[in-house]
Amino acid sequence: MKPRRLYCLMLLCALLLREEEGQAAINLMATRLVYPGGAPEASLRVFNDDQAPSLLQAWVDEGDVQQGPSHSKAPFLVTPPMIRLGGRKGQMLRIYGVDTKHLVQDRESLFWLNVLGLPPKTVAEGARVQLAYRTRIKLFYRPAGLPGSVRDAVTRLVWQTGPGLGVTVSNPGGFYISLSEVLISHGKQSLLWQEAALIPPQAKLFLPMAGADETALHGARGRARWIDDDGNYHEQGFQLTQGAGR
């Protein structure tokens, strides 16, 4: 069967099952991947936890969850692009940058690594049939010589009140910042945001927080939980300043 036809079949199966309901047997040994500029490759190990074999297909996309390998223009190749992975077996996926010189070099670029798995036979569970599953993780292209680090970039985030019911966080650095939680305390008032977000480099992000009052929160202190390159969680304190236009 041609690779494109096989992908279409696997994707159609995947659409029959919501991703959060899948009991995927294929585990990716990382939650994110960094591709250093100038490096010959990056690698990621996948493991089949099931006793039965599974057919895998892997590719990189530009952020469109509906984009398959035949339509992706991401400057990366994954080898092997397709493999039959035996039960209780592992496999190293290698990612090669093929045209990264055209990417911006003063900040990171974001892509997504996809691994689509198809078990050898379907499993009936009541009225639901489990056929296929897909896992996507972030792939950051980090230009060579980019000054600083993710940790440094977190300390440089600028936190401001508003506009309206929330706070705005600005990222002047060149690294993507992954937030998982923000807690703001001001006197007896505590506001918690737990939606998870990614702050692009040299950009701003608004975090809606019900009950927030721009005037009352001016000068309030908070802490943010962020995720490093290895998927570990850290906390960073901050102080809110007055938003623009005040």
Structure tokens at 131: 């056929």
pLDDT by residue for the chain (246 residues), tens digit each?
Answer: 555 555 555 554 444 333 333 455 889 999 999 999 999 999 999 999 988 899 999 999 999 999 899 999 999 999 999 999 999 999 999 999 999 999 999 999 999 999 999 876 654 455 445 567 899 999 999 999 999 999 999 999 999 998 888 899 999 999 999 999 999 987 777 899 999 999 999 999 999 987 777 777 878 999 999 999 999 999 999 999 988 644
Residue 198: CA count within 13 A, CB half-sphere: 15
> Distance between CA 42 and CA 101 in Å, rounded?
16
Which class for 183: exposed (0-12), middle (13-18), buried (19 or more C-beta within 10 A)?
A: middle
Query: Residue 129: CB partners within 8 Å, gap ≥ 6?
Result: 16, 17, 122, 123
What's domain 150-242's superfamily in CATH? Immunoglobulins (2.60.40.10)
Ranges for all domains in the chain classified under CATH 2.60.40.10: 23-120+130-142, 150-242
Domain 23-120+130-142 has CATH 2.60.40.10: yes
Distance CA 68, CA 95 (A): 16
